[in-house]
Amino acid sequence: MGSTTLPAAAAPVAASGGLRRWLPFLLVLALALAMAAAWDGYWGVIATRAAIYWVLVAGLNLVVGYAGQLAIGYVSLLALGAYTASALVEKAGLPALLALPCAAAMGAACGAIIGLPALRLRTFYFAMTTLGFATIVTQVALAWVPVTGGGMGLPGPELPAPFDTPQGFYLLCLGLAALSTWMTVNVGASRWGRSLVAMRDAEVAAESAGIGKPRLFVTVFLFSGALAGVAGALFATLQSYITPDAFTFDLSVLFFIAILVGGRGSVLGPLLGTVILTLLPEFAAPLVAWSTFLYAVLLLVIVLAVPGGIAALLDFKNRKPLEIDRSVAVRPELLREVLARHREAAPLALRDIHLSFGGVRAIDGLDLELRPGEVHGLIGPNGSGKTTTLNVICGFYVPQQGEARLGGSPLPMGQPQLRAGLGLARTFQTPRIVGESSVLENVMVGGTISGAASFLEAALSLPRSRAEERALRNRALLCLRAVGLEGLAEVRADRLQHSELRFLEIARALMLNPAFLLLDEPAAGLTGEEMWRLGELVRQVAAAGVGVLLVEHHAELIFAVCDRVTVLNLGKELAAGTPAEVRSHKEVVSAYLGG
């Protein structure tokens, strides 16, 4: 049996936290502190502006870079934070330092409002709603003269000592920027960050892992809105006087492009992107009227030349070549440990399921029972309804008729994100993975629902969140060892071969400690040897008490590993029984197996 030799790039998994993760940020912080020591009035203002912009971009990065939402109108939240703080200080006499948390609260509330359409709208449609919101904020700022001062504007809050000098204010902004960085790095490396990226690149896999979009998105929009509100209050102080003209569309574009230039799913990249874009106009002062044009050119260059942005340029470890001739060596004996906790053994049954797509009867009165500890094969010609059946069980399709039961309870139709909690795990006909994340991170997504730490606990890296992350990581490594991929744990998943992606998906599904494992054509694209390793793995999963549904075209694999087989034809059961019974069934032989 071959083995996955460790490539240089995939040296044993080192703890990814620690100094290595923080070193680049500490370097940037040291430079920023050196700036405060050697204070220069002109560059000091620019550095202060960069720090303020970063407070906003750090939160926006979770929305745009991690969750992949095109939120291009975030200048509106900057404006709301600025006006909230300025009006509270100027009109209500609130102390300036208390105005900061009020601006954060306003930003959070409006951030959630901006974010709600993202639950239904995608790509440009969502982008347009954020722009629409920005227009509304500007119009209200112009029209609501008693509070905002209209076109005349308002003085920004004046902070008390020690923040009333340019250096003092710079250090405050720097401190808040450092705090935002620390929190967003923590979030990015937690199950919250992985869930956002999984929603962005593999939504159905995320839902199958039990990740609920509404709670995830609302939390992240609240957080990023709060940071934008704080940035707005600081911006108002920096400007000393605010009018609606200060919150231009160019500023919104700057925030957005800083993330694209920096690279998706990274914090360091967008941080450097923000610094570069804040400095750029200073070096190109004569071209200030061309700033929008320059941003557009920069964006085009990045998209065409370095689609992964600064983060991709800095990703040295994924540049090293992987060994080409590598094979997956499964270790089924580890499954006893992976699947140690047994759920209550109960069958999963479909009764009289009917599902049509327009005139196409994909499933036509199907009964099917999956039993714990058995491998149940589902075979049939192309288009016979195998994947549709799997999607009904997983809640992605709602049948027009029939019911599903898990043990004694009805299985709710639809709601795929609730299946993981019921112990149903699956793989996909075409592997659904997050290409830009590491193999280990992809597998960790499968265990998301085992975590209980809140978003805030993750952001502040509190003990429960840290302990859960450690446990999740160790379990993911164990699952990877079981499927023979531990040597590739730190490699970007999109560098894997097709067969490795199949095993990666199985490792991710095993993270759930499932009661039922549903495999959709897991042997497609595998070599003969890999297919038999897969068969060995599947048998051992069932031996651990898990019910397996194996949708396959490889008849020899099905007959070798299944306890029972159902053959579908045109959405109906053509035959069912033991492999020997099905193999000798006349109609099966003529319709599917061939003479």
Ligand X SMILES: Nc1ncnc2c1ncn2[C@@H]1O[C@H](COP(=O)(O)OP(=O)(O)OP(=O)(O)O)[C@@H](O)[C@H]1O
* Closer CB to ligand X, 510 or 534, in the complex: 534
Q: With left for phi above 0 and alpha for psi between -120 and 50, is residue 451 left, alpha or beta?
A: beta
The interface mask with ligand X, positions 426-465, x = CB under 6 A, is ---x------------------------------------
Residue 567, SS3?
strand
What value, to the nearest 5°, has the Cα angle with vertex 164 and ends 100 and 54?
A: 50
Q: Considering the complex, what minimum distance in angstroms separates the CB of residue 346 from ligand X? A: 26
Which parts of 238-267 interact with ligand X (CB under 6 A)?
none
For residue 388, the minimal CB distance to ligand X (Å) is: 3
Locate the DSSP E strands across 380-434: 401-406, 409-410, 424-426
Span interacting with ligand X, options 166-174, 316-324, 378-386, 411-419, rule CB under 6 A: 378-386
58-66, 166-174, 270-278, 380-388 -> range binding ligand X (CB under 6 A) = 380-388
Site string for ligand X, 211-230 (x = CB under 6 A): --------------------
Residues 463/187, Cβ–Cβ less than 8 Å:
no
Nearer to ligand X among residue 74 and residue 397 (C-beta): 397
Alpha-carbon dihedral of residues 108, 109, 113, 115, nearest 10 degrees?
20
Residue span binding ligand X (CB under 6 A) among the ranges 35-43, 248-256, 297-305, 379-387: 379-387
Q: Which of 191, 326, 386, 508 binds ligand X (CB under 6 A)?
A: 386
Size of interface with ligand X, in residues (CB under 6 A): 12
Angle at 258 between CA 252 and CA 262, to 5 degrees: 160
Shortest CA distance to 111 belongs to which of 273, 184, 220, 2?
Answer: 220
Question: Does residue 388 bind ligand X (CB under 6 A)?
Answer: yes
Applying CB under 6 A, among 41, 305, 344, 382 the residue interacting with ligand X is: 382
Residue selected from 111, 188, 385, 451 as contacting ligand X according to rule CB under 6 A = 385
Q: Could you give the string, one character per residue 323-362, with x where binding to ligand X holds by CB under 6 A and - elsewhere?
A: ----------------------------------x--x-x
HEC string for 8-29 = HHHCCCCCCCHHHHHHHHHHHH
Asked if residue 575 lies in contact with residue 582, where contact means CB atoms within 8 angstroms, the answer is: yes
Give the Cα separation of 564 and 557 in Å (integer). Answer: 13
383 belongs to the binding site for ligand X (CB under 6 A): yes
Residue 593: CB minimum distance to ligand X, A: 15
Out of 48, 237, 384, 461, which residue is the one contacting ligand X (CB under 6 A)?
Answer: 384
Which window, 324-332, 377-385, 438-446, 575-583, contacts ligand X (CB under 6 A)? 377-385
Distance CA 15, CA 19 (A): 10
Q: How far is the CB of 418 from ligand X (least distance, A)?
A: 21
**Considering just the CA atoms, what is the radius of gyration of the chain in Å?**
28
φ/ψ region of 461 (left if φ > 0, alpha if ψ in -120 to 50, else beta) reads left
SS3 441: helix
Question: Minimum distance between the CB of residue 88 and ligand X, rounded to whole angstroms?
Answer: 53
Site residues for ligand X per CB under 6 A: 357, 360, 362, 380, 382-388, 429
